[in-house]
Amino acid sequence: MSAKALTQKSTSLESLAAEGALLARHAGAGKSTHVFTRVHSGYLHEAASKEASSLRTATTEPALELKLQRVTSLAGKVGADLKRVGHASKAEQPRLARELEAAAKELK
Amino acid sequence: MQAGATFRYQLLWVVVIGVAGIVVYSEMCGRVAAVAKRPVFDLVRERTGFSAGLATLAASQVVNLMTCAAEVGGVAICLQLLSGLPYRLLIPLAVVGLAVASWVLPFEWIERVFGYLGLCLLVFAVAAIKLQPDWGSVAHGFVPGSHTGGSLSVYLYFVVGLLGAAMTPYEVYFYSSGAVEDGWGLKELGLNKVTSMIGYGLGGFLSFALMIVAGTLFLPLGIDPQFLGTPPLGAEEAFGQVGLLLALVGILFAVGGAAIETCFSGAYNTAQFFGWRWGKRERPAAASRFTLAWVIIFTLAFLVVMTGYDPVKLTEYSVIFSVVALPLTYLPILLVANDRTYMGSKVNGKLANVLGVLYFILILAIAVAAIPLMLITHGGQG
């Protein structure tokens, strides 16, 4: 995987994490419906899982190995958090929102 | 929305140019329909001959089918976001619902139901205000100039995409066929001007709102809207669940109405090209081949969506491919609107001609640039 492709993956995951954080924040504040939260987070989770799968099988030049590992690890975490957003209680959502925001910042 | 989330408000000027372009050409189409009593595709074949007409028909049908499929998929996703039912179950329900509405409802009622409920999208305009954008930057976005936030090629790709979306061919095909169906005559020339300005102006206004919401909310958060469920988050941020539901209902009916228009547009083109009897006002048995054409288009759109291809991606591609077909659509309109044998004293005036020619040059330029830009930017991803 080239440096450009890795950056694109990272940007894409950052976007998914940020969107998931916004959705979780809305769900926690009672601004969203359960159905919308579940379905939309499902789409975000599916996209993050696809990115995570392609990252897990990717290889790159030695100089980028560490970055690839970090992005792959964050991809797994973002995917798992997004899955939880769809089924979490209102009380759990703010914590998930914070975790996803932190992941988005790390991916920046 | 993607334009706003990438370049904030810097592409608002493109929407103004695109809307003005579709108003100029729709006014010509409506005038041709009112004076010559003939719709666009009828004239395309007559002016360009069988071979070029057939090429135009093929290109427009491919774009129509892609657009219709994307819209059917969009309706299914919207229903899923509202109901929580499985997407694959909702695709046939969406197609059947749209086909039944097309079959049962008279033309006026299709316009009223889908048009009025589509107005729920105005929630984005109110959300854009409530999100308190920097109005100075918004105003600056109406002036073309240098850009920040992305590469030049991506910027140009969005310019082409926004112009293509504003001037998509099915709109003029549907508009002119509708004018013939409504029996427009010389008395309706004033109505034609008002309808084209208000109708497309409203569409442009909603585009401004969506771009402002994206630039104010999504860009600072680093969100690149890739899903149909992303825009409603803007209304949700401003108005909570009420905003969310208004946004979803608005998208559902706006996209559903567009799916019917696209489907009918394809049937109109086919029937007019082959000289079949056509019209929504005709009994289905009396215009059987026209009726069969729109049923087939819905069926093909259903099959395309059932492959699982992402409707949002399909929309992006259909917009870019429609740009390539734009000159084939708009040149015959410009020629006929200037032809006294069809138009008598109602040919284009100086202003309509200057604008028509300028827009045609612009259309040629973006038609040439569309595919290379899509390839260079990997579909706007940079």
* Interface pTM, i.e. ipTM: 0.94
Average confidence score pLDDT of chain A: 95
Rounded to the nearest angstrom, the minimum Cα separation between A90 and chain B is 14
pLDDT of residue B83: 97
CB pairs under 8 A between A and B: 70
CATH of the domain at B212: 1.20.1740.10
Residue B289, domain member (yes or no): yes
Residue B295, domain member (yes or no): yes
Which residue in chain A has the smallest CA separation from B248? A36
Residue B381, domain member (yes or no): no
Asked if A11's CB is within 8 angstroms of B226's CB, the reply is no
Average pLDDT over residues B297-314: 94
| Number of domains forming the structure of chain B | 1
Q: What are the tens digits of pLDDT across the range B237-260? A: 999 999 999 999 999 999 999 999
Determine which helix (DSSP H) or strand (DSSP E) holds B354, and give its type and residue range: helix B350-376
Helices B40-83 + B169-181 axis angle, to 10: 110
A74 to chain B: which residues are within 8 Å by CB? none
pLDDT interval class at A97 (50, 70, 90):
very high
Long-range contacts (CB closer than 8 Å, 24 or more residues apart) made by B351-355: B352/B24, B352/B27, B352/B28, B355/B20, B355/B24
pLDDT interval class at B43 (50, 70, 90):
confident
Asked if A22's CB is within 8 angstroms of B221's CB, the reply is yes
Lookup result for tokens 């112009």: B163
Q: What is the C-alpha to C-alpha distance for residues A39 and A44, in angstroms, rounded to an integer?
A: 9
- Both tokens of B61, joined, read 């049908």
A103 to chain B: which residues are within 8 Å by CB? none
A19 to chain B: which residues are within 8 Å by CB? 221, 223, 227, 230, 233
Residue B10, domain member (yes or no): yes
**Nearest Cβ partner of A33 from B221, B226, B244?**
B244
Asked if A33's CB is within 8 angstroms of B224's CB, the reply is no
CA quadruple B38, B264, B207, B248: dihedral sign:
positive
Residue B382, domain member (yes or no): no
Is-contact B225 B5, C-beta < 8 A? yes
Average confidence score pLDDT of chain B: 93
Asked if A40's CB is within 8 angstroms of B227's CB, the reply is yes
The string of DSSP letters for A33-92 reads -HHHHHHHHHHHHHHHHHHHHHHHT----GGGHHHHHHHHHHHHHHHHHHHHHTT--TTT
Residue B22, domain member (yes or no): yes
Segments of chain B assigned E as strands: none
pLDDT interval class at B325 (50, 70, 90):
confident
**Nearest Cβ partner of A40 from B81, B245, B381?**
B81
Domain that holds residue B162: 2-376
pLDDT of residue B39: 85
B76 to chain A: which residues are within 8 Å by CB? none
Asked if A38's CB is within 8 angstroms of B237's CB, the reply is no
A104 to chain B: which residues are within 8 Å by CB? 221-222
Q: What is the C-alpha to C-alpha distance for residues B204 and B239, in angstroms, rounded to an integer?
A: 23
- Both tokens of B72, joined, read 């059917």
Q: What is the C-alpha to C-alpha distance for residues B53 and B325, in angstroms, rounded to an integer?
A: 12
Q: What is the C-alpha to C-alpha distance for residues B172 and B193, in angstroms, rounded to an integer?
A: 14
**Residue of B233, B248, B313, B377 best to disrupt the A interface, most CBs of A under 10 A:** B233
- Decide if pLDDT at B147 tops 90: no
The string of DSSP letters for B306-345 reads HTT--HHHHHHHHHHHHHHHHHHHHHHHHHHHT-HHHHGG
Q: What is the C-alpha to C-alpha distance for residues B343 and B37, in angstroms, rounded to an integer?
A: 10
What's the Rg (C-alpha) of chain A? 14
What number of CA atoms fall less than 13 Å from residue B231's CA on the CB side?
29
Lowest pLDDT segment from A67-71, B67-71, B261-265, B319-323: B319-323
The A-side interface with B (CB below 8 A) comprises 8, 11-12, 14-15, 18-19, 21-23, 26, 29-33, 35-36, 38-40, 43-44, 47, 104, 108
Q: What is the C-alpha to C-alpha distance for residues B265 and B60, in angstroms, rounded to an integer?
A: 9
pLDDT of residue B32: 93
Q: What is the C-alpha to C-alpha distance for residues B255 and B261, in angstroms, rounded to an integer?
A: 10
Residue B120, domain member (yes or no): yes
pLDDT of residue A33: 97
Burial annotation B269-302 (CB, 10 A radius, 16+ → b, else e) = bbbbbeeeebbbeeeeeebeebbebbbebbebbb
For chain B, the maximum distance between any two Cα atoms, rounded to a whole number of angstroms, is 58
pLDDT interval class at B1 (50, 70, 90):
confident
Residue B103, domain member (yes or no): yes
Asked if B236's CB is within 8 angstroms of A32's CB, the reply is yes
Q: What are the tens digits of pLDDT across the range B95-113? A: 999 999 999 998 889 989 9
pLDDT of residue B41: 81
Lowest pLDDT segment from B120-129, B235-244, B311-320: B311-320
